[in-house]
């Protein structure tokens, strides 16, 4: 269960200063463990990050089976709820039925399904093709997701890309309301505006009765306090900060080693081998050896 999310806001009320749950991106089980140790409330199995980790663009090239196996391994290695980014649901409403059953069985706590046409293009890229699905068809996908889940606490998060597609705040509200009416537990509204104004305008106008999810990558001025003050944000997803942190750290270390011709200079700035042993659970290996190897 994603704490704080399911009942973050009772229908049609706007309690002040609801504290949103914080969900950090991860692209493999190790990064999910680091998300847990840092104290986040959940791990975001980001399509962008998992694509990038496979050396691929986030344009629906990673298959459901590939993404699902990463989610399964993450859920096995962290106690945190894993929020699975299933993009468009890998096809139509029938694909969504199969996807939701599969992700719930794999140990995910929630899925996010977005209202773009399959194959989708990543949201934040300049000039990306952003084609929206018909509202009724996406409502069918939400209804399929609700029908497929076993546990009512498995969250179905509907994501509208109306602002990303440039369809405007009216279209975003219309779609959000339609998805809430179809039974979504939360509404993710994505924006690539470089200030929080667009999202704050949406949140102020929101009357759909379910909590909102935001991904403030393009508008990092959206602090936790600011999100909480709206009273309508149930989850904040930090969408791609794990892969960006990892890439920057590797680039710096690799460049230094190439420049220096040895690894002495990076030793103080990278994790000691013992830290990797700890994250791998080598202490348990030693206990298991003592207990079971004869």
Nearest distance, CB of residue 215 and ligand SPV, angstroms: 5
Q: Give the span between the Cα atoms of 198 and 208, in whole angstroms.
A: 17
Q: Is the separation of the CB atoms in 252 and 26 below 8 Å?
A: no
Give yes or no for residue 239 binding ligand SPV (CB under 6 A).
yes
Nearest distance, CB of residue 207 and ligand SPV, angstroms: 25
Query: Which of 28, 78, 139, 217 is in the footprint of ligand SPV by CB under 6 A?
Result: 217
Q: Of residues 77-96, which lie at the interface with Mg ion (CB under 5 A)?
A: 85
Q: Which is nearer to ligand SPV, 117 or 270 (CB)?
A: 117
Q: Which is nearer to Mg ion, 124 or 167 (CB)?
A: 124
Binding mask 32-51 for Mg ion (x = CB under 5 A): ---------------xx---
User: What is the size of the binding site for Mg ion (CB under 5 A)?
Assistant: 3
User: Can you read off the two tokens belonging to residue 263?
Assistant: 């690894």
Nearest distance, CB of residue 266 and ligand SPV, angstroms: 29
Nearest distance, CB of residue 152 and ligand SPV, angstroms: 25
The DSSP symbol for 165 reads: T
Nearest distance, CB of residue 140 and ligand SPV, angstroms: 21
User: Can you read off the two tokens belonging to residue 53?
Assistant: 């980790």
Q: Which is nearer to ligand SPV, 49 or 185 (CB)?
A: 49
10 Å CB burial of residue 255 (0-12, 13-18, 19+) is exposed
Break the chain down into helix, strand, coil percent, rounded to 5: 45, 15, 40
Tokens 């892969």 belong to which residue? 243
Nearest distance, CB of residue 244 and ligand SPV, angstroms: 11
Binding mask 96-125 for ligand SPV (x = CB under 6 A): --------------------------xxx-
Query: Which of 9, 68, 70, 85 is in the footprint of ligand SPV by CB under 6 A?
Result: 85
DSSP secondary structure string for all residues of 61-129: -S-HHHHHHHHHHHHHH-SS-EEEE-TT-SSSHHHHHHHHHHHHHTT-SEEEEE-BPSSP--SSSTT--
- C-alpha distances (whole Å) from 249 to each of 49, 263, 270, 272 are 16, 14, 8, 14
Given 41, 58, 87, 185, the catalytic residue: 58
Which is it for strands 186-189 and 82-85: parallel, antiparallel or unpaired?
unpaired
Q: Of residues 165-224, which lie at the interface with Mg ion (CB under 5 A)?
A: none
Q: Is the separation of the CB atoms in 253 and 270 below 8 Å?
A: yes
10 Å CB burial of residue 55 (0-12, 13-18, 19+) is exposed
Q: Among this protein's residues, is 58 annotated catalytic?
A: yes
Q: Which is nearer to Mg ion, 85 or 115 (CB)?
A: 85
**Closest among 154, 174, 85, 93 to 122, alpha carbons compared:** 85
Binding mask 44-83 for ligand SPV (x = CB under 6 A): --xxxx--------x-------------------------
**Closest among 230, 245, 205 to 9, alpha carbons compared:** 230
Q: Of residues 8-47, which lie at the interface with ligand SPV (CB under 6 A)?
A: 25, 46-47
- Name the site residues for ligand SPV (rule: CB under 6 A): 25, 46-49, 58, 85, 122-124, 190, 215, 217, 239-240
Catalytic residues, by residue number, are 58
- Name the site residues for Mg ion (rule: CB under 5 A): 47-48, 85
């Amino acid at each position: 269960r994603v704490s704080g999310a399911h009942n973050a806001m009772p229908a049609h009320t706007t309690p002040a200063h609801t504290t949103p749950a914080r969900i950090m991106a991860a692209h493999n089980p190790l990064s999910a463990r680091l998300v847990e140790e840092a104290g986040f409330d959940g791990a975001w199995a980001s399509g962008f990050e998992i694509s990038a980790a496979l050396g691929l663009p986030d344009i629906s090239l990673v298959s459901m089976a590939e993404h699902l196996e990463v989610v399964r391994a993450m859920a096995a290695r962290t106690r945190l709820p894993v929020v699975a980014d299933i993009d468009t649901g890998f096809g139509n409403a029938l694909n969504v039925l199969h996807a939701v059953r599969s992700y719930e069985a794999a140990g995910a706590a929630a899925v996010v399904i977005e209202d773009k046409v399959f194959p989708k293009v990543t949201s934040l890229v300049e000039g990306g093709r952003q084609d929206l699905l018909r509202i009724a068809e996406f409502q069918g996908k939400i209804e399929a997701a609700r029908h497929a889940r076993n546990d009512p606490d498995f969250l179905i998060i509907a994501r509208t890309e109306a602002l990303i597609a440039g369809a405007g705040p009216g279209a975003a509200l219309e779609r959000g309301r339609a998805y809430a009416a179809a039974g979504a537990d939360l509404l993710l509204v994505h924006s690539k505006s470089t200030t929080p104004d667009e999202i704050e305008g949406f949140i102020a106008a929101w009357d759909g009765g379910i909590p909102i999810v935001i991904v403030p990558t393009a508008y990092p001025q959206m602090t936790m306090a600011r999100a909480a003050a709206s009273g309508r944000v149930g989850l904040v997803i930090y969408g791609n900060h794990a892969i960006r942190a990892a890439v920057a750290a590797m680039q710096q270390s690799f460049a230094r080693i190439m420049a220096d011709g040895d690894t002495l200079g990076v030793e103080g700035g990278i994790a000691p081998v013992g830290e990797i042993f700890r994250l791998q659970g080598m202490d348990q290996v030693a206990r298991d050896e003592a207990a079971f190897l004869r």
